[in-house]
Amino acid sequence: MSTLITPHTDARMATIIEKVRGGERLNLEDGVYLYESNDLLTIGQLANEVNLRKNGNKVYFIENMSLYFTNVCESRCAFCNFRKDDGEEGAYTLSGPEMVQYVEQHMNPGVREFHIVGGHNDKVPFQYYVDSLQALHDRFPEVTLKAYTAAEIDFFTRISGLSIREVLEKLRAAGLKTLTGGGAEILSDQYRKKMRVDKANVEEYLEVHRTAHNLGMKTHTTMLYGSIESREDRIRHMLQIRELQDETNGFMVFIPLSMQPKNKNAGIMRRNSAYEDLKTIAVSRLMLDNFDHIKAYFINIGAQLTQVALNFGASDVHGTILKERISHAAGALTPEGLTRDELIWLVKGAGRIPVERDTFYNEIKVYE
């Protein structure tokens, strides 16, 4: 049994430590207490212990490429600076062949995954979204299509008149292998109303993933934190995701996304602190006992803090990405992507073992 870094732990923290080390599940009150505690080192060490039990010293990454077919969106979420109205300066909607051409010009050898998200463009039919995937799958059959958020899938049901299952089946026939995790924001309908998240509500988001899991798909899920939500809202978000994971075991990874300000010149007071980012990753690891992986997303928190996060419960650093747009449209100051060598350096610099993976966490190469 390892010794706690901070020896003067209070009784409540001691009880939580005992629960975690004994394999007992944490509850809402435990999670809120952890968020309100200033004992970051104990929380981080405990999360690190959990991660080491699950993954050892291995940290995962993938050679992937982010693609955005359209930024036209009917929704006007308060936090988004990526969306455009149809006809607005900077708005675009690429056809399948146009995206194939873009990929051919920018793709690196070794890319295993296309990460595809975009706007809810109601100016095109559902078939456009099917054909977009089909064009990529036909040209790059060896690359896994990780496409669309649960909110996008719900949007597709509205513009097509099809059920969630029918939408997913048509997309799978075109090459879809897994869903991205976005669109969750904070799983609170009150939050979604205040933040004008006029897309899939909480139950719709969860039902899309439930349906995908029941079809045999493994998916990803996120939490966008750092705006108006309370810490209790964050824990309730995690509990809803944990409950669905108990039911389906279909999630591969949980991705806490640190909210970015709309203005790249926004000062430090408009951004989440490193303290809050590390605590969120650690608390996620402790609450989500039925998840194998918690991701430290360098696009939002930076490469060096990502290294620290690998000792606070994170076991995944995402991938090479190649020109991320959504977080950077919202004011992210981080690189738009990293090379394989940079990701390997990042992980080794944290004292961990880099493991190149595929989309489904099958190991491709271990860099001892």
Question: Tokens at residue 153, please?
Answer: 């899938």
Check the annotation: does 77 bind a ligand. yes
Range with the poorest average pLDDT among 13-17, 51-55, 108-112, 166-170: 108-112
Stated pTM of the model = 0.91
- pLDDT band (50, 70, 90) for residue 328: very low
Mean pLDDT of 26-51: 97
What is d(CA 136, CA 157) in angstroms, rounded to the nearest whole number?
A: 22
Using an 8 Å Cβ cutoff, are 257 and 224 in contact? yes
Check the annotation: does 73 bind a ligand. yes
Check the annotation: does 291 bind a ligand. no
Check the annotation: does 82 bind a ligand. no
- pLDDT band (50, 70, 90) for residue 352: very high
Instruction: Give pLDDT tens digits for 234-256.
Output: 999 999 999 999 999 999 999 99
Main-chain phi, psi angles of 354, to 5 degrees? -70, 135
Strands annotated E in the chain: 58-62, 64-67, 113-116, 144-147, 176-178, 219-225, 251-258, 293-294, 316-319, 353-357, 363-366
Quick one: which H or E segment has residue 34? helix 28-36
Mean pLDDT of 231-235: 97
Check the annotation: does 79 bind a ligand. yes
Check the annotation: does 185 bind a ligand. yes
Report domain 11-366's class.
alpha beta
Question: Tokens at residue 6, please?
Answer: 């901070």
